[in-house]
A and B are shown apart, each in its own frame.
Chain A
């Protein structure tokens, strides 16, 4: 995450005299001014600050409990200690949890984007009456704290026999994530150029073809960003998976990490190791799709 912030900052518009240059595009030969460097330094500092917890996890993951007791959380490990990680891996059957998280997050990401696109097509391009209110209603799913939703959802899913089933979690998060997706996409599609749509309908396209042949290809970059967001957000969810995934075999990574927190004692090194294991997949996922992420939002609607 740090690297992106720094990247972004490096790309940030130039402040100071050079900004008044008539040329719109900044050429790479422009001399860096003091202001540039200041911004870079501030950005790096903020980046480091954000990365501190991550570094703490990293150094404590490879520390033995004895080392931790003797020197505290802030020192580098004296030797590479992997037992904590190995123990956690075996204790919770980590590959299974990894698969569960991956399965739930990817299904949610894709279904939620699909639902968002369909909703947004109706609201943004279809121009339904009172759509602001509809969007607001949908956004309630995102605005309500999850604790409020817990009991109603519990009774609903118990009645339909989906309690202790991954599909309960998938359905809940498809709704919650697509609420945000609908909001975002509806406003993006609200500014969709009329000319293109009119041209398409002159060519005899019906609504369905218009959606898949015209709107979908053009909004694709935004959609892929949403897929990534939804994947990471769903991956990190704790409360609802904790409540709805009763059997160990169906649990997700964040829920399995909770196993390490006891009644009164905590095991800092193993907890760090498990946090690192839980964080790595999202980090890797993010790094793979990082380019899509930075481009998607800035990509224009019309090419």
Chain B
């Protein structure tokens, strides 16, 4: 007992001395006019991390200013942004999530700077495809698609088909170019006892496949109605009926395993990496990981057959807080990240640049990826994500599709339920 008391006393002494020590260091560094305080949440080995590190070097050389960079966690920026940006600790520039519930909300609260003037000054609107600008503009209610610019996306993302070339070759199958061929390929795998699609209904993958199926039947007007609330969405209409019924048919045919209800995206992804499933329909954010980790086989990508549009969007973007001390420096920094050489760095490291010269991309796999993305943006095919319209629709959609796969609800019942949930969520937003 004596010994323990002494150890405790030791802790106490340490604590108190720490108290005194930190007294000196607690004062926060004052921001001066020649320092750019920058936050982002990309790891230093990711495409954006590498490109932005180079952008920081270029920026410091050209302006003579110093960059005070801090890597934040996605979680921290997501959950504390509204508080930090409302205080004097706000950085001059930060990476922030696009979307109505995030950037839109902060913009409507007046916490983000209106960027219309600097957009015009630097000509960024010419560099960005129209569907990529959608997530950068927010109206006074924080709804994306119109109003002033509040952010600059540096990279894009979209959903496509990843396939295992070795398994395709072993089964004597070709890359499908039509939906009928795609179903034939999957049927061929099922005939060999292989479930073709790596899916997860507990998280986003199945919802995105469902949305993709709807998009094969849809036009831009449907996407605007669904995403930007420009009109009513018909939940018993052609697009969504086709989507839900096809998911049901594919499950019945064995293209999708009923086990998918319990799988997370991570499980589906690792199952593709270890060669359990030959096809994984998911986002370009997996590209880098497959490049480094799926080394046991050759893999390739293609856009969903017969689809003019696919889920996707501009990536997270640079925003400038209203309380930023050095807005001019922040704008200069953003302009550097939009330069072709920095954009090429994003492209050559597995990311998807929004304003790169295609001839600068040297990596073969990246060429394929960026080629697919450019095809999509050129045909105005970026259709955003199914869960965007309301704050709760992500969970509602997953739950609905789980019931569909489990056979507890029919496609019509699922659509009716989802339609009700979608509409009440939208009513809350639009008012």
A residues near B (Cβ < 8 Å) are 65-66, 68-72, 91, 102-103, 106-107, 109-110, 154, 158, 163-167, 220-221, 224, 227, 231, 242-243, 246-248, 255-256, 258-266, 268, 288-289, 291-292, 295
Contact = CB atoms under 8 A, between A and B. Distances in A.
Contacts of A107: 15-16, 18-19
Nearest to B4: A292
B12 A110 contact: yes
A288 B19 CA distance: 23
B84 A246 contact: yes
B192 interface: no
Contacts of A268: 266
Q: Which 4 pairs, one residue from A and one from B, show the smallest C-beta to C-beta distance?
A: A106-B15, A258-B73, A259-B73, A69-B273
Contact of A106 (B5, B14, B26, B294): B14
A247 B7 contact: no
Contacts of A262: 41, 43, 74
A289 B73 CA distance: 33
B265 interface: yes
A243 B316 CA distance: 22
Contacts of A221: 1
B270 A68 contact: yes
Contacts of A164: 28, 87, 89
16 contacts: A65-B292, A65-B293, A69-B273, A103-B15, A107-B19, A163-B87, A220-B5, A224-B5, A231-B11, A246-B84, A258-B75, A258-B76, A263-B41, A263-B97, A263-B285, A265-B286
Given A255-B73, A264-B265, A167 B79 contact: no
Contacts of A288: 7
- Among B22, B72, B273, chain A packs the most CB atoms within 10 A around the CB of B22
Interface string B269-288: 01001100000000101100
Contacts of B285: 263-265
B273 A248 contact: no
Nearest to B18: A103
Given A154-B83, A258-B75, A70 B274 contact: yes
B140 interface: no
What secondary structure prevails in chain A residues at the interface with B? Answer: helix
Nearest to A262: B74
B132 to A, nearest CB: 17
B1 A247 contact: no
Nearest to B294: A69
Given A154-B83, A289-B8, 20 more contacts: A69-B274, A71-B274, A106-B12, A107-B18, A110-B11, A163-B87, A164-B28, A165-B28, A227-B8, A242-B79, A255-B73, A259-B71, A259-B73, A260-B73, A261-B74, A262-B43, A264-B283, A265-B285, A292-B4, A295-B1
B80 A243 contact: yes
Given A66-B293, A69-B274, A70-B274, A167 B1 contact: no
What secondary structure prevails in chain B residues at the interface with A? Answer: helix
A124 to B, nearest CB: 22
A102 B73 CA distance: 21
Contacts of B204: 264
B35 to A, nearest CB: 14
B273 A247 contact: no
B11 A106 contact: yes
A259 B74 CA distance: 7
Interface in B387-430: none
B70 interface: yes
A121 B28 CA distance: 38
- Among A68, A221, A262, chain B packs the most CB atoms within 10 A around the CB of A262
Give the size category of B's interface with A: 35 or more
Interface string B64-108: 000000111111100110011001010000000100000000000
A216 to B, nearest CB: 12
Given A163-B87, A295-B1, A289 B7 contact: yes
A261 B4 contact: no
A95 to B, nearest CB: 14
A255 B130 CA distance: 38
A9 to B, nearest CB: 23
Contact of A165 (B8, B11, B19, B26): B26
B44 interface: yes
A281 to B, nearest CB: 13
A145 to B, nearest CB: 15
B295 interface: yes
A260 to B, nearest CB: 8
B385 to A, nearest CB: 11
B289 interface: yes
B17 to A, nearest CB: 10
A103 B76 contact: no
A248 B283 CA distance: 31
- Among B70, B204, B295, chain A packs the most CB atoms within 10 A around the CB of B70
A264 B270 CA distance: 14
Contacts of B8: 224, 227, 289, 292
B274 A247 contact: no
A69 B270 contact: yes
A227 B5 CA distance: 11
A153 B362 CA distance: 52
A263 B89 contact: no
Contacts of B289: 265
A134 B264 CA distance: 48
Contacts of A289: 4, 7-8
B40 to A, nearest CB: 12
A220 B4 CA distance: 11
Contact of A158 (B22, B87, B270): B87
B79 A243 contact: yes
